[in-house]
């Protein structure tokens, strides 16, 4: 479904660019056609820039206090914005429409296999840059697409369970690692609630709203209602679904979790919502929400976590 939606949005943007081009050509006689084409494309890109800017603006209204050592100057802020814009453009215009996958297997797999679970409004194509890094590190991995897009998070549990079982059967491993982005981390928690953790060695979440996000109020779907956070970091309250999820979990399961998040996340706000009590939390400096899966520092940390989890399982050899 996301493939069709993203391709349709690309077509709409292309048609809008053509319309702008025709208006420019007819309104400004003598203007060079190549210049008109570049200008029409630039207008579409400016609109995309405005959308990314609006996300940062909305996030700032509900943001948690940034620790002094994670604050950014204007240069870092500029690089942060460009990195997030580049990641969103790549994901929405290339990897999600055209580069989805179900499994990628290196020639010489090492360590535990990994299941990738994407976030809200995405598909397996989101993971393409991370997948390339995992493949280079000889880490076998599968990806699952969460459907329906606007369904409840509990509806994704059977999909994840099926993906876990296929991964175990195809690789012969009893345990796997789960790597989840954003809402995918909540879906992973719901899976562990229903099916237990006996087949999971570690869960790595990237920018997951473990206590909700205020920006979910601007989304569409049952899942966005389930991810909502209301008011400020100090005064807010998570959604009823999140509170019930936490109440139904064994707190000991959080020891399996590594939560990687950014204090400059432009979708999860307050950003400290990604801090999961009882888990190992790793704070990242100056990375946007979508860019978490694209950032080389995050990719390197993820690979270290997978190798560390693999090392805890008897009989698995590790790379030098």
Residue 270: asked if its preceding bond is cis (omega within 30°), the reply is yes
Instruction: Say whether pLDDT at 319 is over 70.
Output: no
Q: How many domains is the chain partitioned into structurally?
A: 1
Is residue 129 assigned to a domain?
yes
Q: Look at residue 318 and tell me whether its pLDDT is greater than 70.
A: no
Distance, in Å, from the CA atom of 257 to the CA atom of 236, rounded to the nearest integer, reads 24
State mean pLDDT over 181-199.
97
Q: Would you say residue 169 lies in a domain?
A: yes
Task: For Cα atoms 132, 138, 144, give the angle at the middle one, nearest 5 degrees.
Answer: 55
Place of tokens 């997948």: 131
The yes-or-no verdict on residue 38 having pLDDT over 50 is yes
Averaged pLDDT, 97-116 = 97
Q: Is the pLDDT of residue 246 over 50?
A: yes
Please check whether residue 217 lies inside any domain of the structure: yes
> What average pLDDT does range 17-23 have in this prediction?
95
Phi, psi for 172 (deg, rounded to 5): 80, 5
Domain that holds residue 290: 103-311
Q: What is the Cα–Cα distance from 216 to 307, expressed in whole angstroms?
A: 33
Flag whether 317 is in a domain: no
Q: Can you give the CATH number for the domain in which 163 is found? A: 3.40.50.1820
In a domain, 94, yes or no: no
317 secondary structure, DSSP code: -
Query: What whole-number percentage of the chain has pLDDT above 90?
Result: 92
pTM: 0.94
- What is the CB-side half-sphere exposure of residue 309 using CA atoms within 13 A? 25
How far lies 256's CA from each of 187, 203, 300, in Å? 15, 6, 19
Q: Distances in Å between the alpha carbon of 227 and those of 188, 243, 274? A: 14, 10, 12
Determine, yes or no, domain membership for 201: yes
The DSSP code for 221 is S
The 10s digit of each residue's pLDDT in 208-244 is 999 999 999 999 999 999 999 986 555 578 899 999 9
Side-chain half-sphere exposure of 77, counting CA atoms within 13 A: 8
In a domain, 210, yes or no: yes
Query: Which residues, at least 6 apart from 305, have a Cβ–Cβ distance to it below 8 Å?
Result: 177, 202, 204, 258
Give the list of residues 6+ apart from residue 101 with CB closer than 8 angstroms, or none. Answer: 124, 125, 127, 128, 131, 143
306 found inside a domain: yes
Q: Give dist(CA 205, CA 191) in Å, integer.
A: 14
């Amino acid at each position: 479904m996301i493939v069709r939606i993203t391709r349709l949005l690309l077509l709409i943007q292309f048609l809008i660019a053509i319309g702008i081009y025709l208006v420019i050509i007819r309104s400004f006689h003598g203007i060079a056609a190549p210049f008109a084409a570049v200008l029409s494309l630039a207008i579409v890109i400016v609109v995309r820039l405005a959308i990314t800017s609006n996300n940062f603006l909305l996030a700032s209204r509900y943001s948690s206090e940034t620790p002094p050592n994670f604050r950014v100057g204007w240069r870092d802020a500029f690089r942060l914005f460009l990195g997030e814009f580049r990641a969103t453009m790549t994901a929405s215009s290339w990897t999600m429409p055209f580069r989805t996958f179900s499994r990628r297997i290196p020639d010489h797999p090492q360590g535990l296999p990994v299941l990738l679970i994407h976030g809200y409004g995405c598909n397996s194509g989101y993971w393409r840059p991370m997948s390339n890094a995992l493949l280079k590190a000889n880490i076998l991995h599968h990806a699952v697409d969460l459907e329906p897009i606007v369904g409840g998070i509990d509806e994704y549990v059977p999909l994840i369970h099926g993906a876990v079982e296929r991964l175990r059967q195809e690789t012969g491993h009893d345990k796997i690692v789960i790597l989840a982005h954003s809402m995918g981390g909540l879906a992973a928690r719901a899976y562990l609630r229903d099916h237990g953790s006996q087949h999971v060695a570690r869960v790595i979440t990237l920018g997951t709203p473990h206590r909700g996000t205020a920006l979910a109020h601007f989304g569409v779907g049952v899942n966005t209602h389930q991810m909502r956070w209301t008011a400020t970091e100090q005064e807010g309250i998570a959604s009823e679904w999140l509170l019930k999820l936490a109440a139904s979990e064994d707190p000991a399961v959080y020891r399996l979790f590594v939560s990687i998040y950014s204090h400059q996340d432009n979708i999860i706000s307050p950003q400290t919502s990604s801090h999961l009590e009882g888990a190992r939390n790793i704070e990242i400096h100056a990375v946007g929400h979508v860019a978490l899966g694209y950032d080389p520092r995050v990719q390197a940390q993820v690979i270290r976590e997978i190798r560390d989890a693999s090392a805890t399982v008897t009989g698995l050899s590790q790379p030098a």
